[in-house]
A and B are shown apart, each in its own frame.
Chain A
């Protein structure tokens, strides 16, 4: 007889699927970029949670957004220290993307600064950091790196590729570039192409970095960092991730630690203090050059590129789509996803769509787990059911007899 204590230990162990912690994979053949340039050495940092099933049907790739990394769910971070994941409200045991059921893969993007080759990496030709000599990379280049990693992991076909925001752009690019390697594509708060407003805000962020006296044309590694510029870029970014309603509720016109105006240019309003804090926190973990490269890749992204329209780019697609937007998201507004939806419907593709009512603006994809789960969970359950039915599992002796 086992004691109650033993039982609960067992349950806990069973409830905690394996997490790989950060792993490094080196692409065997380098990478030819969309721009025509080439990277001879490409390393990619990735993590996995859960286990690939016998039929290889339960793999889900999660693509991170502008400032994310491979640590999407809770688990060991660098040095094996337990660390929360940036989307752990959605990914983990018992969550919408249940790591007890699915084999979850997440990697840092090409051009990133969290372990994958990017402008801060050493250029093998010069043995110095690339800086601005790093070639411009596109969303498609990022996806090509992910596909190469998938080869290395022995996964032929993904059950789903999932992403919010820029991660959603990658998910859409997956569906376009590798339609036979993804069964389903889940795009949350994303767009087939940025509008002028979003490109405009990206440019403000870039100009803030470029104007920083410490930027030194991108060659600042090992010296003073362009922290002011990067922090301002982050402050602007943060405003675009919120909404008028959420800012009104969160800050209003409240003053920070004072009753009256200072008649000075110090931080007074709570919103100023919040943005300043977000900016400071950001420079501790992010590389200004990556911010430049990532935002440029966002701006360049157009799902229709190479075709006359999005509909033609995805014509005859076998991929089933789930597209979600948020009512107060003005950075990746619903109408842009509806444009994609119309293109897919014209093409008679399988696509479901819902707009989630939320006051949180673009950030809602990180803050509204239950509303997303409502749709994601049945969508993935059904996809797994169909994938398992379509994939004969290698017989374990049954048929040999």
Chain B
């Protein structure tokens, strides 16, 4: 089982949350695999923003329109409400300014879909509690000094974060990798303890 397979399961869920024919903006779109799925399987009109040249080139090779941009600088150039859905997948924890990114998502899109690793997961808590060291796991495979993940959050903190930035959570789907990490399943009990990942659909608070 590789991280890429896990990501696929995660993205499959995101895909299922995007209505057919939507206008979608994928922030930190990588090589465009999610965008290509949304275009080919759900007839979406997709656009991407990405920083890394090799990823942009890969997405261009899939016939996708990708603009090089730093999300931490906001979504300047994107008109208000110009997208039905703005996706931020496994990226918020690497942002220098997550609040700006969230506010921009709510400005540009009617809905945002955010997926993030849950730092409240029992393994993470246990790692710190019993080993007394910064957690390193399969979903958070970095040491504290070289991690790109500079803004870890828990599901509970995330709720507060969205509310504090003018948004509301329309749907929250706590997930955990299944046996042998071959699939992901929804967590029904104590999500902040048992989910290692969460997907949230957010909108601007009216």
Contacts and interface: CB of A to CB of B under 8 A. Distances in A.
A354 B62 contact: no
Nearest to A357: B53
A342 B79 CA distance: 9
Given A342-B77, A375-B56, A352 B65 contact: yes
A351 B67 contact: yes
Given A338-B77, A345-B47, A350 B65 contact: yes
Contact of B61 (A353, A354, A355, A378): A378
Interface string A217-247: 0000000000000000000000000000000
Interface size class of A (residues with CB under 8 A): 20 to 34
Nearest to B57: A374
Contacts of B78: 345
A320 B65 contact: yes
Contact of A382 (B63, B66, B68, B79): B63
B100 interface: no
Majority-rule SS of A interface residues: helix
A87 interface: no
Interface size class of B (residues with CB under 8 A): 20 to 34
A353 B79 contact: no
A353 B67 CA distance: 5
Given A354-B53, A374-B54, A375-B56, A381 B67 contact: no
A378 B57 contact: yes
Nearest to A383: B63
Question: Which of A322, A342, A356 has the most B CB atoms < 10 Å from its CB?
Answer: A342
A345 B77 contact: yes
Interface string B14-37: 000000000100000000000000
A371 B56 CA distance: 12
Given A351-B67, A354-B53, A354-B68, A341 B61 contact: no
B107 to A, nearest CB: 15
Interface of B: 23, 45, 47, 53-54, 56-68, 77-79, 82
Given A341-B77, A352-B60, A353-B68, 4 more contacts: A345-B82, A348-B23, A351-B67, A382-B61
| Nearest 3 pairs of A and B residues by beta carbon | A378-B61, A354-B68, A342-B77
